[in-house]
Structure 1
Amino acid sequence: MCCSLALHPDKVQVATGQVGKDPFICIWDTFAMQTVSILRDVHSHGVACLAFDSDGQRLVSVGLDAKNTLCVWDWRRGRVLATATGHSDRIFDVAWDPIQTSRLVSCGVKHIKFWTLCGNALTPKRGVFGKTGDLQTILCVSTAKEELTYSGALNGDVYVWKGFSLVRTVAAAHGVSI
């Protein structure tokens, strides 16, 4: 069963992640309807979310294991570039920074983390909510230019981040959960 999906920047290839005992990730050519690559042996229970970087060379995956493991792949070669414990609580989304290509962000139950990839190491920094917004479950995330990140919170707020600090809250942008 497929539970996660990411579209490659070329809009031809797609990555899908499975749920199950020994889940794997398939990268498909959507025109030929053929498997291009299969990535396995990192996650257990399932693959919660996937994202290609801006040039499509790397793929990040998040597992459904107890540590919500993050894995960065050279998906064409089937090689693991880096892994890290994601968080003690569930991760719902992950995204690459389109400008600073060594950075990515993950979010989930009462957290958001900003990651830096250096060699084979992934280093996290927790998002600082400060007095700009309440610590919440973050359901979705998207990155933009100028170190800006946008996230959708469980209560319907949209949070705007600069670096790893919350700088603005659009209160009840949706009135209810996003």
Structure 2
Amino acid sequence: MVKDSPKPPKPSNPSVSIWAAQCGKCFKWRMISTQEEFEEIRSKFIEEPFFCNKKPNVSCEDPADIEYDSSRTWVIDKPNTPKTPNGFKKNMTLRRDYSKMDIYYVTPSGKRVRSSTELGTFLQQNPEFSDLSVSDFSFTSPKVMDDTIPSSAVLANSNKKAATSNTK
């Protein structure tokens, strides 16, 4: 029996191209420079809401950095989701059918973990991370905003659903 050689991992294709936070006062969207900065804001959003003036030289009087519209697909994270622990990388990939985002973490050793169970096993097997627990991570998928999904994807999904329901 011949075994196939292991497939090289697919290159990471992050689905998130722009990080943004909405001002709690004027409700304008402000672009956030990095995923790390975004996660910091999101991790304490309830206790410390985001306001325009938290960005240098920006106020509510300035135009929005980005408009919520259907020119791109928007996903909205839950507030107070824990920020990714140091050394780990959180990746989110939008499914082709736009139904949700898949979440996985890359550990400092390069291992991908796709669930709380996998993560718990990894943490148990790696005592150098004994200061971390599964609750320091979140596999909760951000909500894909239906009104920003491209019409071609919506049409394709409705055709699939119709085909599935017709075959039952």
TM-score, normalised to structure 2, is 0.26
Higher relative contact order (Cα pairs below 8 Å, separated by 6+ residues): 2
Higher helix share: 2
Greater per-residue strand proportion: 1
Query: Whose Rg is larger?
Result: 2
